[in-house]
Amino acid sequence: MMQDARLQEIALPVEGLLNEEEMVVYSNTAELKEVDVGIQKNLLLKNDQGEQTGWIPYTTFVEQLMSKYQALSSFVQAFLATADDAITVVNEKGEIIAWNKRSEEMYALKAEDVLKKPITNFFKKEAVMLMSAITEGTSITKQYNQPKPNIHVLITALPVYLNHNIIGGISIERDISELVKLNNELSTTTAYLHDLEHNVSHEKNRSPFQKIKGRSSTLQQALTLAKKVAATDAPVLITGESGVGKELFAEGIHLASKRANKPFVAINCGAIPASLFESELFGYEQGAFTGAVKGGKKGKFDAAKEGTIFLDEIGEMPLELQVKLLRVLQEKTFYRVGGAQPIPIDVRIVAATNRTLEKMVEEGSFREDLYYRLHVISISIPPLRERNEDIPELIQLFLKEFSLKYAKPIPKMEPEVMYALLTYRWPGNIRQLRNIIERIVILGGDENEVIKLHHLPEGFSTFTSAKEKTPPPVDEKMKMGKRMPAQDEAGQIQAALSKTYGNKSAAAKLLGVSRATLYNKMKKYGLT
């Protein structure tokens, strides 16, 4: 903000008592801008005690006002000429009254061609954010805009007020066209490299279960069973909480089977309305019902011919559909809705549920005969809280995935963050972990920024507080005893370091010792 001139600075001394009725009275602390230029009288200045302290001839006031205007205009012109950003000033009608050199260069429009003309003559109305600032009386701060094809800017705009009335507006636009172009090229290159890396990895490792990450014994047991049953055509029932990766297991079983080159069709039984379920599964004939597509429509069993059909959330299937599915499994044929011709099927059934089907059978909400048809082989996938040792590998996997996706560097984590992730109960399992890592990459994606606890959702801080009072089971299992044999103690340290991917602070917390104690013991056992 520029400093204004005080009236006292240009006032003449009072010689005798001046006639106040012929003058306009102002405080001796008043400034030039406070004077009403419409009243063409000499100015009399008085202090708080009402004493006359000076006076200004009206002609002197006008001369000073013009001098200040000229000085201010010079400063404005110098500012417009030296600014690195494009600056535009418009009046209340949207007519351009200032257009600096950078604006000329950015938009290839000379000042003499645009001054005193509406800004909408040169830009599409919807692209002129400055006019929105004027008409709505709101400020815009560093908002992305594309006023012209191939021109990208960050714009700051605000209305100009005089006596609480909007008399125009000013915008400052920073050209980020090259940054946008480079970012697009980087995103394209990153996506290409990611695809290339994926293809190379796929060539080197063609394991059908390669998407399933983890080294815990419970997960490996489930994988071993899945690999064995994949070689057969036996129906498989996959159980586990939501978010544990049941579909990945189903897809892996399909890819490891002799049907790998045939379709894998997944159906979420809880997402299809009961009235549409039969037509979705089996399709329908022409004219089967009002609104039916001409020529009929094939269903999911048709689409999965000679392949695998994955019935996710099978516990949500309506009872009347359970009967028809059972008949299909028994007779190896199905009928389209409105059709009378049996259609033979050759598909493998893999089902999954997060519900306890045995209890549903007892309650009468799931058919017992269908349950036993599907339950030839059952694979139970453990929840994430029962395989904490898999969390570091999953964290690294998701960090890499989302860093590539958002073209950001892989962030570093404070030990407290890793500890919070390792000891959280994960009610949403791997899906929840993946979502939180995506949040971390997005919110903490600045270069060299370290991820802290405040980057995690609020629930984590609440959980952490409770957790400190009652340590989770995993900490008790790993805590070192006071008189533990050296070999066992060294093994515990190695296990903790492996579990935390070498993060010593997090490992110390898991072991229930201070970081200094951990360093001393590592040195003692030659683990440094």
One domain, residues 222 and 367: yes
Residue 252 binned pLDDT confidence (cut-offs 50, 70, 90): very high
What CATH number does residue 166 fall under?
3.30.450.20
Q: Is the pLDDT of residue 486 over 70?
A: no
What CATH number does residue 475 fall under?
1.10.8.60
Q: Among the three residues 349, 366, 382, which one is the final residue of a domain in this structure?
A: 382
Query: From CA 76, how far away is CA 470, in angstroms rounded?
Result: 65
Residue 182 falls inside a structural domain: no
For 59-114, the pLDDT digits (tens) are 888 888 888 888 888 888 888 888 888 999 999 888 998 999 998 988 889 989 98
One domain, residues 63 and 98: no
Mean pLDDT, all residues of the chain: 81
One domain, residues 61 and 97: no
Query: From CA 50, how far away is CA 30, in angstroms rounded?
Result: 14
Residue 254 binned pLDDT confidence (cut-offs 50, 70, 90): very high
Contact 148, 72 (CB under 8 A): no
- The reported pTM is 0.52
Q: Is the pLDDT of residue 466 over 50?
A: no
Q: Is the pLDDT of residue 519 over 60?
A: yes
Instruction: Please give the average per-residue pLDDT across 346-360, as a whole number.
Output: 92
Residue 321 falls inside a structural domain: yes
Residue 270 falls inside a structural domain: yes
CA separation (Å) from 497 to 250, 422, 500? 33, 13, 5
Please calculate the CA angle 7-9-13 and round it to the nearest 5 degrees.
90
Q: In this predicted model, which residue has the larger pLDDT, 76 or 471?
A: 76
Residue 423 falls inside a structural domain: yes
For 389-401, the pLDDT digits (tens) are 888 889 888 988 8
One domain, residues 237 and 361: yes
One domain, residues 221 and 328: yes
How many domains in the chain? 4
Q: Is the pLDDT of residue 290 over 50?
A: no
Q: Among the three residues 175, 191, 225, which one is the final residue of a domain in this structure?
A: 175
Strand, helix or coil at 11?
A: coil
Q: Is the pLDDT of residue 230 over 90?
A: yes
One domain, residues 48 and 112: no
One domain, residues 494 and 456: yes
Q: Among the three residues 175, 200, 232, which one is the final residue of a domain in this structure?
A: 175
What CATH number does residue 249 fall under?
3.40.50.300
For 361-398, the pLDDT digits (tens) are 999 999 999 999 998 899 999 999 888 888 888 988 89
Contacts of 28 (CB under 8 A, 6+ apart): 7, 8, 11, 45, 46, 47, 53, 54
Contact 114, 98 (CB under 8 A): no
For 117-173, the pLDDT digits (tens) are 998 888 877 667 888 888 888 888 888 788 887 788 888 889 998 888 898 999 998
One domain, residues 378 and 277: yes
Contact 173, 152 (CB under 8 A): no
Residue 78 falls inside a structural domain: no
Strand, helix or coil at 457?
A: coil
What CATH number does residue 57 fall under?
3.90.1280
Residue 27 falls inside a structural domain: yes
One domain, residues 166 and 114: yes
One domain, residues 364 and 502: no
Question: For the chain, how big is the Rg over CA atoms in Å?
Answer: 38
pLDDT at 348: 92
Residues spanned by the domain of 96: 83-175
Residue 180 falls inside a structural domain: no
pLDDT at 489: 81
One domain, residues 466 and 504: yes
One domain, residues 43 and 99: no
Residue 422 falls inside a structural domain: yes
List beta partners, residue 157.
140, 171
